[in-house]
Amino acid sequence: MSCSRVFSSSLYLLITLAFLLHTAFGASSPYLYHFCSSSENYTSNGPYESNLNKLAAYLNYQTPPTGFGKGALGQKPNQANGLALCRGDVSSSDCKTCVVEASSEIRMRCPYNKAAIIWYDYCLYKYSDKDFFGQIDNQNKVTLINTRSVSEPEAFNKNTRELLSQLAKEAHVASKLYAVGEVELGESKKLYGLTQCTRDLSSYECKKCLDGIIGELPRCCDGKEGAAELGLLPAVLESDVLSVVEAVHLKSVPLSEVGVVIQDILQMFTSFPVFSIRFVPRLANKVAHGLARLAVGHVGRFVWVNDCPLAVESLVLGDSPGTFGASSPYLYHFCSSSENYTSNGPYESNLNKLAAYLNYQTPPTGFGKGALGQKPNQANGLALCRGDVSSSDCKTCVVEASSEIRKRCPYNKAAIIWYDYCLYKYSDKDFIGQIDNQNKFYLYNVRSVSEPEAFNKNTRELLSQLAKEAHVASKLYAVGEVELGESKKLYGLTQCTRDLSSYECKKCLDGIIGELPRCCDGKEGGRVISGSCNFRYEIYPFVNGDN
């Protein structure tokens, strides 16, 4: 089974079978991505915020019955313009759930930004102080592709283009500007496709928009089993079209075989280095865990997830030095599926106390752990901040993480969330002092070095040395660098959670360093992050040297 998609500022191209064979309507729609405008902010409790609140209420009410809503509230210069679109196959109830969540979540992720957009699997939601209705933007887009290649790419590319072109013709004259279809590929295989536009576009604009992104074939996804595309405006971030195609066997395929790659062409983010994450879900101790591959940068972002229904966060992972003080990018989270707690019960009470305790205990030293209450309602947890993060940024990250994980994993007795500056985890089981390298995710720079063999050797030697230093350091943390010649350096970082002993830290780090070179062979930068330890290397400095 394959899963992929593309969203453009005026178009959304998606290739997915999970939607067709393993429909998960009724569940929360996975968050995909968001952008916050950096052009202008509004003031708290001011007229623009008031209009934005009214717009949200209006779109939450107007969108679900038909799957689309748009509106403009207030007078310029404080007019709030916005729209919401649900995927054409989503029910009214799931549409409402998605739009309500999106309208709330984007305000938390982009506080005081006058323009922003957020994508979920079932919907998109965007707003701006500028009137963007009816405007096509295919300059900036995100591409998702299935990592598997077909055996006959030339014929497959032809079938894909023909299917999507036909669906574009159908969508632009449909009342919903939406169309789905399929074609036989032989040998009990079919190619499935979907195209969709936001309904602020005219029929002509919809067709023009779809033709624009379909024109990306085969460059975007040459011979891949699935693909999709996203886009945004440089100032007013929006997405107006969706196109989907998928090649699958007619028989049901296990979700564990799903693959996704997302490529975000973010021309406005030219200062960000390029990274990648790979996510391989697995089941351990009855808790869903995994690996992820995510790439971020001015040329593109790639995300490969081995299980479509899992929420995929596309975030700026590896930001340039000097970003301290800003909100720490969210990386990923996992919710335990083994057992839930009841609302207002003793476990929830202990979890609330644990959060308050860790929020207070962690920032001064960068680490905190605790166990609140008595078994079987005992809440065990820890928080760790990256060793170079200041106390104030550590506090900001931990407070946000402790709040966000409860929203993402409501009533789950065990969960973990990673941010760029910190991790936060809790469970009803006592996990303190136990190494967890079974569940981890890889991040790597998509650029390759010119001499991978020598580079891999230098990388392993640097990280191995830093592991030796970290496991005897008070913070179980170490950073260092080595000369590569020609005015180049290789920078590295290793760190363990401080519930581990010195011996356990070294064992944990040796385990993830053992992933080299498989995790990031010959890549300019890479990270392996687990629940107990992590390493990172880059060819540029990435830590705050003052901490």
Same domain, 169 and 244: yes
Q: CB atoms < 10 A from the CB of 371, how many?
A: 17
Count of domains for the chain: 3
The residue written with tokens 């010959």 in the block is 522
Q: What is the DSSP letter of 325?
A: T
Which of 255, 283, 318 is where one domain is finished?
255
pLDDT value for 226: 60
Q: Are residues 471 and 389 part of one domain?
A: no
- Which residue among 255, 283, 316 closes a domain? 255
Does residue 452 sit in the same domain as residue 423? Answer: no
C-beta of residue 372 within 8 angstroms of C-beta of residue 306: no
Lowest mean pLDDT among 81-85, 273-277, 528-532: 273-277
Let me know whether 411 and 474 are in one domain: no
* Degrees, nearest 5: CA angle 456-460-464: 175
Interacting residues of 211 by C-beta distance below 8 A, sequence separation 6+: 165, 168
List the beta bridge partners of residue 74. none
Backbone angles phi, psi at 389, to 5 degrees: -85, 135
Q: Confirm if 273 and 301 have CB atoms less than 8 A apart.
A: no
344: left (phi over 0), alpha (psi -120 to 50) or beta: left
Cα–Cα distance, 189 to 191 (Å, whole number): 7
Kindly state whether residue 4 falls inside one of the protein's structural domains. no
Same domain? 223 vs 166: yes
Are residues 386 and 473 located together in one domain of the fold?
Answer: no
Shared domain for 401 and 462, answered yes or no, is no
Task: Find the angle CA(34)-CA(331)-CA(542) to the nearest 5 degrees.
Answer: 105
pLDDT tens track for 239-268 = 344 444 443 332 222 222 222 222 222 222
Give the pLDDT score at 400.
93
Q: Kindly indicate the confidence band of residue 141, based on its pLDDT and cuts at 50, 70 and 90.
A: low
Q: Is the domain of 460 the same as that of 423? A: no
The answer to whether residues 152 and 232 belong to one domain is yes
The answer on pLDDT for 319 being more than 50 is: no
Q: Does some domain include residue 196? A: yes
Based on the fold, state whether residues 414 and 506 are members of the same structural domain.
Answer: no
Q: Give the gyration radius of the chain's Cα atoms.
A: 23
Q: Which domain range does residue 203 map to?
A: 148-255
Is the pTM for the entire model greater than 0.75? no
Q: Is residue 130 part of a domain?
A: no
User: Does residue 287 lie within any of the structural domains?
Assistant: no
End residue of a domain, out of 427, 457, 482: 427
Pairing of strands 241-249, 226-230: antiparallel
- Mean pLDDT across 217-232: 58
CATH of the domain at 531: 3.30.430.20
Where in 280-414 does DSSP place strands (E)? 282-284, 287-289, 292-294, 302-305, 330-335, 367-372, 379-385
Residue 258's pLDDT is: 25
Is residue 525 in a domain?
yes
Residue 493 three-state SS: strand
